[in-house]
Amino acid sequence: MDDSTLDFTSSLDVDSKMAFYDVMGSLAHVEMLKACSILPPEDVDRITEGLKAILKEIEEGKFELDYSLEDIHTNIEFSLTERIGPAGGKLHTGRSRNDQVAVDFRMYLRDKVLEAATAIDGLVTSLLKIAEDNAETVMPGFTHMQHAQPVTLAQHMLAYAFKFSRDADRFIDAFNRMNKCPLGAAALAGTTYPIDRFMTSEALGFKEPTENSMDSVSDRDFVNEVAFCAAQTQIHLSSLCEELVYWSSQEFAFIEMDDKYTTGSSIMPQKKNPDIAELVRGKTGGVVGSLVTMLVLTKGLPLTYNRDLQEDKKPVMESMDTVIRCLEIMEKVMSTTTFKADRLMEVTSRGQINATDLADYLVTKGVPFREAHGIVGAAVRESIESGVNLEDMPLDKLKSFCDKIEDDVYKFIPVKSCVDRRESYGGTSPTSTDEQMSKAIEQLMLREETLRQEKQLIDNCWKNLLS
């Protein structure tokens, strides 16, 4: 092979991140070969001892990569053979590089997915704390970035908590679908050796073996799905960060970010910049780009393995690293941000934000909603021109728009009343947000238990293989 060909085809800089998983997969594989009497016990013992020595060097950062070999899998196998002699060459019995790479990548992404879901739950916890502390804090709700209806800060934070909870659930769903073991599918057609794929699957913490050997080595659905989960999570982060950037401006002045998570200006001493929020927003393009890369990469590939699939690792590895880092830093940002309740209430009191409630009041008096909409529109125009909020208008002025308006209107249209009366399921009243809080905490606790169990199962598998 020409040096330029080796350089062009090498994946070592990327797949070396899977070194740990390659060794664990090999340990499970060789134990199965021993149990099935495919390899003699003495060879398996030498192979196992050599693999454990290599793993120790990997974990200590002492394992030297040979760049004349194109990937981490070859590096480990060649190093093993150098250490223990010809027995090392028997490790590859009953498997191919195709199923070896597939199982390594699944194990790598399993851990990354669990790490991402855990990081999401950290952010959700910080959002729930803000919601808990601000059940009565009123703020403007927006549509089209215009004041729409009054809501609570608790409702706003819970909206993000449920978005991120779905993101965590999507990662766990992806974990469950990818948690099948392709090892033993060999190149594409299975193997003539009497292997036990269920044994290796269980040893590596998978739910079961993959069902079809051709699908096993060609499938990258799990990579695409993880890339989507990362992109969707990052998009939700970007949306949150967009609001934080607005809210920290002097024009909004809704929040004060902690000094530890902001930066100053190189020339303007008064500046306090929301750089973390801006960077998280900026990194979204790369994460979305990784999803697009994977979709295009896997478009139109014939069965089964094609070398194109070597390019599957870098985009999703980078996107997962990015989204996990963003989640972890945003948990710190949110847990240290101060929300200015007085300012939020002050801004909410402007802009006839209670207009919908006045229309709803008229409906209770028998006025058809469309007619009520027009009546309130006229009242809003008067409010804008006079500078008097709807709830501060005298009764006779309100009655000039509709004679069905009575004294009881002042129980309907104060901003706080507008919030408190929205007790429908999922609404913004403190009663409703209390229910939402309970639901969000329940989801969080169930997810945390699921993550704990999956991590424990995988950890136990590693301990068993290394014992």
Nearby residues of 7 by Cβ (< 8 Å), 6 or more positions away: none
Q: Which amino acid is at 30?
A: V
Taking CA atoms, 33 is separated from 36, 332, 384, 447, 464, in Å, by: 5, 48, 82, 37, 17
In 320-463, the DSSP E strands lie at: 338-339
Task: At 352, list the tokens.
Answer: 């006839």
Could you tell me which of 375, 170, 464, 281 has the C-alpha nearest to residue 383?
375
Contact between 139 and 151 (Cβ < 8 Å): yes
Q: Residue 464 has what DSSP assignment?
A: H
Dmax over Cα atoms in the chain, in whole Å?
Answer: 100
Nearby residues of 74 by Cβ (< 8 Å), 6 or more positions away: none
Nearby residues of 21 by Cβ (< 8 Å), 6 or more positions away: 103, 104, 105, 107, 108
Contact between 261 and 276 (Cβ < 8 Å): yes
Task: At 290, list the tokens.
Answer: 């990784």
What's the helix, strand, coil split of the chain in %, to 5? 70, 5, 25
Residues acting as catalytic residues: 144, 265
